[in-house]
Amino acid sequence: MYRINQLEKAMNKEEPANSLPHQKHSSTLEQTSRITPEQRAIITDTFRMMEEDSRRNGINIFVRLFSEFPNYKDIWPQFQGITDSSLMGAAELHKHAVVYMHGLHTIIGSIDDDHTLAEQLRKIAQAHLRWGVRKFHVQ
């Protein structure tokens, strides 16, 4: 657990604003290469269990996120008009949960290849930046 926490801290470290894309990729690659084979196995096994009921687990992740951080619902335009009491049954949340779990599937599928994993993380991070999701939201 200590090593996973260290990895999280290292990955949340701010990068210089003027760093080049290949430097950012290099930084991500440096961090992903720190994940041990044992940690990769734990992550893969855990996700395998989550994937058994992927949509429900994705929905539960977002319901919990929005209950703990209600203002995060405003990040996604499709959730802004939905009342909290209606959110769990909303088609928009179900669709987003499927997309979210697919993204996790992509990440976990590349976990044994640091270069591919770094590239997948970079793509997902760029997609989140377009919606205004920043590091502090994730932290």
Could you tell me if residue 128 is inside a domain? yes
Interatomic CA distance for residues 128 and 89, integer angstroms: 24
Short-list 94, 90, 52, 96, CA closest to 75: 96
Residue at token pair 């928009």: 92
Element (H, E) at 51: helix 37-51
Q: Would you mind telling me the total number of residues written for the chain in this entry? A: 139
The model's pTM is 0.72
In a domain, 10, yes or no: no
- Whether 90 maps to a domain, the answer reads yes
- 74-113 per-position pLDDT tens digit: 888 888 888 888 988 999 999 999 999 999 999 999 999 9
In a domain, residue 8? The reply is no
pLDDT at 3 over 60: no
Per-residue pLDDT band at 24 (split at 50, 70, 90): low
The amino acid at residue 40 is R
What pLDDT is stored for residue 25 in this prediction? 61
Which H/E stretch holds residue 60?
helix 54-68
The answer to whether 101 and 95 have CB atoms below 8 angstroms apart is no
With a pLDDT cut of 90, the percent of the chain lying above it is: 46
Q: With CA atoms as reference, report the closest residue to 62 among 90, 43, 89, 88.
A: 88
Residue 50: give the domain boundaries.
39-138
5-23 pLDDT, tens digit per residue, is 433 443 344 333 333 344 4
Q: Residue 101 falls within a domain, yes or no?
A: yes
User: Total domain count for the chain?
Assistant: 1
Tokens of 1: 């657990």
Domain of residue 55, CATH code: 1.10.490.10
